[in-house]
């Protein structure tokens, strides 16, 4: 950066911005927000910035089929993925059918370990025995040709709603996916739950027009809490329509009446009225995901869907216990993996596994190791049925899907995106995996790694004010495509060094501005840094400015990202 923002002057930068409006202009410029986009970006408008669901290809056909099923009393099944996109999507369908008083409906969520991702033939056959006439998928189905062919053979129509990139299209009754050929929907990056919500919104509109059921105007907006959780958790870009959905999703979350969410936030000591995207990412999301990673995804679904206070409290306690257990398991995997990976640091792709490792936890561990070793990491564990299953992560220097395609002679199944994926391999071919991936890596064109975020500007401690925070807050919610503003603080003198947390494993550095007001800068899980700093030491660091309303406090503090 060659710019300094300040309500004070930073001498080592060429340009100084001295007014809040200038700070805002700089932050928008750094995010590529043009003058044309500025008003929408700063002031999302539900009516102006969410698109008509009937613009999606096949929407009218899908809605007509759902309304027929409702009128005829046919058995409808919502088949959704087990993560923070699929489970909220399932809740959207559940709440809709409950709202209109349609009872011949059920949710089906595949078990992460016993079934795995996607629509399965065995599940379709089970649903057929249960009398299913219509299956509606969310966040899955676009690649499940065999299962949908089986559904057709059993007389079950399938409506696929999925945001993953289509390849060979399945023979579904209708496909709702803005990325399919011929779809003219103006925004292509909706998550799975958002597409489920679009389908429900369209069904409500047409259902009311045809007097199939009665729902009061605007009720569907209450479902945006689920869309917000999914949009903020599923790593879709927070630009365009997604920004509006995340913005209004957070607004509904702050007002939400869901017993489970209220109990969950209370247990985590998060004030609902001050909920942020960080609370979705670090509190709500992990507790939804841990259900399928460590137990059954039904527990997370029930937490979000229940209206019973006792059930909400019991499920909150269960998920909290599972989350704490998960942290311990991941820590143990990392401890073992770090010791063993040191021996293969020179390899372009790191591959490691243990049949005692739970596949559902390996994505978390692989992501940490990828950041530490700056290269793709593949971790595997016991998958059952003679296979080993795992997760992989990349820093973007190698496209994971391309990498796995180069090793498909060894891999049994695989899928994913540029930086994250999953795979399975037969035991008898495991010894070939590391070499196959290393060889595949040599054929890839090197890409720039998705490195650390560059600071937006330099600030002094005098600039950490409510006025500055009000400017920064205008850009929220933050996420992919709209990173949280990051600032550089240079030559800062440490006044005190403290540790905090139950295990005293978090770092707190206390500084003072020119009028003596103390400002805290914290970094979580920073055990290795606790002995590095002393009173009177001068350091450079980058940090976010955040509002801390935890435990009755309401103050500004700095969240450290990097220290030099």
State the total domains in the chain: 3
Residue 248 lies in a domain: no
Can you give the pTM of this predicted structure?
0.90
66 and 185 in a single domain? The answer is: yes
What are 420's two structure tokens?
A: 């994250």
Rounded to the nearest angstrom, the gap between the alpha carbon of residue 372 and the centroid of all alpha carbons in its chain is: 21
65 and 211 in a single domain? The answer is: yes
70 and 205 in a single domain? The answer is: yes
Residue 188 lies in a domain: yes
358 and 433 in a single domain? The answer is: yes
3-state helix, strand, coil in the chain (%, to 5): 45, 20, 35
What span, in angstroms and rounded, lies between the C-alpha atoms of 550 and 343?
43
Under DSSP, is residue 191 helix (H, G, I), strand (E, B) or coil?
coil
438 and 469 in a single domain? The answer is: no
b/e 481-511 (16+ beta carbons within 10 angstroms → b):
bbbbbbbbbbebebeebeeeeeeeebbbbeb
510 and 557 in a single domain? The answer is: yes
515 and 369 in a single domain? The answer is: no
Residue 350 lies in a domain: yes
Give the pLDDT of residue 343: 66
User: Residue 352's closest CA among 334, 372, 327?
Assistant: 334
Domain finish residue from 191, 215, 239: 215
The CATH number covering residue 391 comes to: 3.10.310.30
62 and 165 in a single domain? The answer is: yes
151-194 pLDDT tens trace: 999 999 999 999 998 989 999 999 999 999 999 999 999 999 99
457 and 435 in a single domain? The answer is: no
Residue 131 lies in a domain: yes
The CATH number covering residue 19 comes to: 2.40.50.140
Give the pLDDT of residue 8: 39
What span, in angstroms and rounded, lies between the C-alpha atoms of 224 and 177?
19
What ranges in 154-235 are assigned the alpha helix state H? 192-209, 224-233
Domain finish residue from 422, 442, 462: 442
Residues of the domain holding 87: 53-215
Residue 359 lies in a domain: yes
Give the pLDDT of residue 345: 66
Give the pLDDT of residue 7: 38
Measured CA to CA in angstroms, residue 310 lies from 94, 265, 307 at distances of 20, 15, 9
24 and 106 in a single domain? The answer is: no
Residue 280 lies in a domain: no
State the 10-residue block means of pLDDT for the chain, 564 residues long.
Answer: 38 49 92 91 94 98 98 98 97 98 98 89 98 98 96 98 92 97 96 98 97 95 98 91 97 96 95 94 96 95 98 98 94 91 79 93 93 92 86 92 93 86 93 95 82 86 94 94 94 94 88 95 85 93 92 88 90
Under DSSP, is residue 41 helix (H, G, I), strand (E, B) or coil?
helix
Residue 314 lies in a domain: no
421 and 529 in a single domain? The answer is: no
Q: Reading across the β-sheet that carries 15-17, which strands appear in turn?
A: 15-17, 3-5, 457-458, 487-493, 538-548, 555-563, 518-523, 506-512, 496-500
Give the pLDDT of residue 11: 36
Domain finish residue from 165, 187, 215: 215
Residue 235 lies in a domain: no
Can you spell out the DSSP letters for 97-138? Answer: HHHTT--SEEEE---TTTT-SS--HHHHHHHHHTTEEEEEEE
């Amino acid at each position: 950066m060659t710019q300094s923002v300040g309500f004070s002057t930073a001498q080592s930068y060429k340009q100084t911005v001295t007014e809040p409006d200038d700070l805002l202009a700089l932050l928008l410029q750094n995010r590529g927000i043009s003058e044309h986009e500025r008003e929408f970006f700063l002031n999302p408008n539900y009516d102006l910035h969410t698109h008509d669901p009937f613009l999606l290809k096949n929407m009218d056909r899908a809605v007509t089929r759902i309304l027929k099923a409702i009128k005829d009393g046919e058995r409808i099944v919502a088949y959704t993925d087990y993560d923070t996109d699929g489970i909220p999507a399932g809740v959207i369908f559940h709440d809709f059918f409950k709202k209109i008083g349609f009872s011949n409906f059920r949710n089906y969520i595949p078990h992460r370990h016993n079934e795995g991702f996607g629509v399965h033939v065995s599940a379709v056959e089970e649903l057929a025995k249960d009398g299913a006439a219509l299956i509606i998928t969310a966040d899955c189905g676009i690649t499940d040709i065999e299962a949908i062919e089986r559904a057709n053979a059993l007389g079950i129509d399938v409506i696929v709603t999925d945001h993953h990139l289509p390849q060979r299209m399945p023979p579904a009754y209708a496909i709702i996916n803005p990325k399919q050929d011929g779809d003219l929907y103006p925004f292509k990056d909706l998550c799975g739950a958002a597409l489920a919500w679009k389908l429900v919104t369209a069904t409500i509109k047409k259902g009311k027009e045809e007097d199939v059921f009665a729902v009061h105007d605007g009720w569907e907006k209450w479902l945006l809490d689920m869309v917000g959780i999914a949009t903020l958790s599923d790593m879709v870009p927070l630009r365009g329509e997604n920004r509006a959905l995340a913005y209004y999703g957070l607004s509904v979350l702050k007002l939400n009446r869901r017993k489970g969410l209220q109990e969950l936030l209370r247990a985590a000591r998060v004030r609902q009225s001050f909920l942020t995207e960080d609370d979705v990412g670090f509190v709500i999301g992990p507790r939804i995901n841990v259900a399928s990673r460590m137990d059954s995804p039904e527990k997370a679904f029930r937490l979000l869907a229940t209206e019973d206070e006792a059930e909400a409290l019991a499920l909150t306690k269960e998920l909290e216990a599972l989350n704490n257990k998960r942290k311990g398991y991941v820590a143990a995997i990392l401890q073992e993996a770090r010791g063993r990976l040191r021996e293969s640091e020179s390899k372009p792709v790191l591959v490691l596994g243990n049949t005692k490792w739970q596949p559902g936890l390996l994505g978390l561990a692989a992501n940490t190791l990828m950041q530490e070793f700056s290269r793709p990491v593949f971790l595997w564990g016991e998958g059952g049925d003679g296979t080993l299953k795992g997760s992989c992560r990349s820093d973007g220097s190698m496209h994971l899907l391309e990498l796995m395609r180069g090793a498909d002679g060894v891999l049994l199944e695989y899928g994913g995106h540029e930086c994250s994926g999953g795979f399975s391999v037969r035991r008898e071919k495991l010894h070939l995996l590391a070499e196959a991936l290393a060889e595949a890596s040599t054929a890839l064109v090197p890409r720039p790694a998705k490195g650390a975020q560059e600071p937006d500007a330099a600030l002094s401690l005098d600039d950490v004010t409510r006025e500055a925070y009000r400017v920064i807050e205008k850009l929220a919610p933050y996420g992919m495509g709209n990173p949280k503003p990051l600032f550089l603080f240079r030559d800062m003198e440490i006044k005190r060094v403290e540790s905090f947390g139950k295990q005293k494993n978090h770092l707190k550095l206390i500084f003072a501005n020119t009028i003596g007001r103390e400002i805290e800068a914290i970094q979580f899980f920073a055990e290795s840094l606790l002995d590095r700093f002393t009173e009177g030491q001068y350091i450079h660091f980058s940090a976010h400015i955040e509002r801390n309303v935890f435990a009755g406090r309401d103050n500004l503090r700095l969240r450290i990202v990097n220290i030099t």
